[in-house]
Amino acid sequence: MLSMKQKEDTRSTGNGTLIFTWIALLLLTGLTVWIAGVNTDRHGVAVNIIIASVKAGLVLFVFMRLKYESLFFRLILLLIVITLTAIMALTFLDVLYR
Amino acid sequence: MQALVKYTDDVDAKMGMWLFLFTEMLFFGGMFLLYAVYSTKYSADFSGSSSELNRVIGTFNTLILITSSFTAALSLSEIKKGALQSASICLGITALIGIVFLIMKYIEWSAKIGHGIYPGSAYLNEMAHGKVLFYSLYFVMTGIHAFHVLIGIAVFIVILFMLRNGTVRENNSIKLENAALYWHFVDIAWIYLFPLLYLLR
């Protein structure tokens, strides 16, 4: 049987980059737990959501190789993030000022 | 006679997986939206309930799930270099960590159910409305997440067999790549679930 292969991606992320990202993710988790321990008001939660987003970004760009992907993939992701943010923002405007 | 042509396109295969993951993001997004609204309306109840969750198990599960994401990425990096043996080992470790994650989840849920806290229980329904909402969201969100982990483990076991019989190899690793993409997404969902459910105070 003949085999035809299109556009195979052979690029490989260096193990050093992967290890560095892994350690960064572990440290950020430690930071999150520490912040939740010392900061008991609502600001602590907001800061932890920001840290979670940084962690998600690291996973997306390094582990999920988004840094290698075409602009098209990144634009769809951006569209999803904008959609979710808009729905969140509009819902909160409704809940808070009803 | 017409020759059979096996046509593969990694970019299209990967695009299919990304499109699926985008629908998953919107799916989880809906639950996060509910959580955000109710945690604002019933902030005292949500903080109180959150502090009743086992923070040690929550933190442990976060650390191991991140580590499993790392081993999944490492597996893909190894297979692209042609190191099939180490790719298999990394993938095996990823699946094992997934199983440990589910065992910890079982222990955590069992403790809560043992205390009479589960959706629809008489004990829970007597509590404040905010607490009922928190625990309902906690069980739904961690339950659906755990179901995703279970599917991921099953997919990795199939890929391990494919690695062994040569279906997945260095120049045909898209199945492993897509499975890893799915696993990383499950990791990201947990990265948000952890501070929202366990660290709300």
pTM: 0.91
What gap in Å lies between CA B60 and CA B101, rounded to an integer? Answer: 9
Q: What integer pLDDT is reported at residue A4 of this predicted model?
A: 58
Q: What is the mean pLDDT of residues B113-125?
A: 91
Q: What is the mean pLDDT of residues B102-110?
A: 97
What ipTM goes with this model?
A: 0.91
What gap in Å lies between CA B168 and CA B187, rounded to an integer? Answer: 23
- Confidence tier at A5 by pLDDT (50, 70, 90): low
What gap in Å lies between CA A88 and CA A38, rounded to an integer? Answer: 28
| A interface test, pick of B174, B188, B197 with most A CB neighbours within 10 Å | B188
Q: CB-based contact (8 Å) between A47 and chain B?
A: no
Winning range, highest mean pLDDT, from A10-24, A82-96, B10-24, B97-111: B97-111
Q: Which CATH number is correct for B31-198, 1.10.287.130, 3.40.630.30, 1.20.120.80, 3.90.1150.10? A: 1.20.120.80
Q: CB-based contact (8 Å) between B62 and chain A?
A: yes
Contacts of A36 in chain B (CB under 8 A): 195, 199, 201
Q: CB-based contact (8 Å) between A42 and chain B?
A: yes
Say whether pLDDT at B115 is over 60: yes
Q: What integer pLDDT is reported at residue B106 of this predicted model?
A: 97
Say whether pLDDT at A8 is over 60: no
Q: What integer pLDDT is reported at residue A91 of this predicted model?
A: 86
Q: Concatenated DSSP letters for B70-116?
A: HHHHHHHHHHHHT-HHHHHHHHHHHHHHHHHHHHHHHHHHHHHHHTT
Contacts of A16 in chain B (CB under 8 A): none
Nearest chain A residue (CA) to B79: A12
Least confident of A2-16, A79-93, B68-82: A2-16
Is residue B8 within a helix (H) or strand (E), and if so which, with residue range? strand B5-9
What gap in Å lies between CA A24 and CA A27, rounded to an integer? Answer: 5
Say whether pLDDT at A72 is over 60: yes
- Confidence tier at A14 by pLDDT (50, 70, 90): confident
| A interface test, pick of B191, B192, B197, B201 with most A CB neighbours within 10 Å | B191
Which of A12, A87, A88 lies closest to B77 in CB terms?
Answer: A12
Q: CB-based contact (8 Å) between A44 and chain B?
A: yes
Q: To the nearest whole number, what is the mean pLDDT of chain B?
A: 93
pLDDT tens per residue across span B69-93: 999 999 999 999 999 999 999 999 9
For residue A4, the 8-state DSSP code is E
State the nearest Cα–Cα gap between A4 and chain B, in angstroms. 5
Closest CA to B100 of B138, B60, B144, B72: B60
Q: What integer pLDDT is reported at residue B164 of this predicted model?
A: 94
Q: Where are the domains of chain A?
A: 14-67, 68-98
- Confidence tier at B11 by pLDDT (50, 70, 90): confident
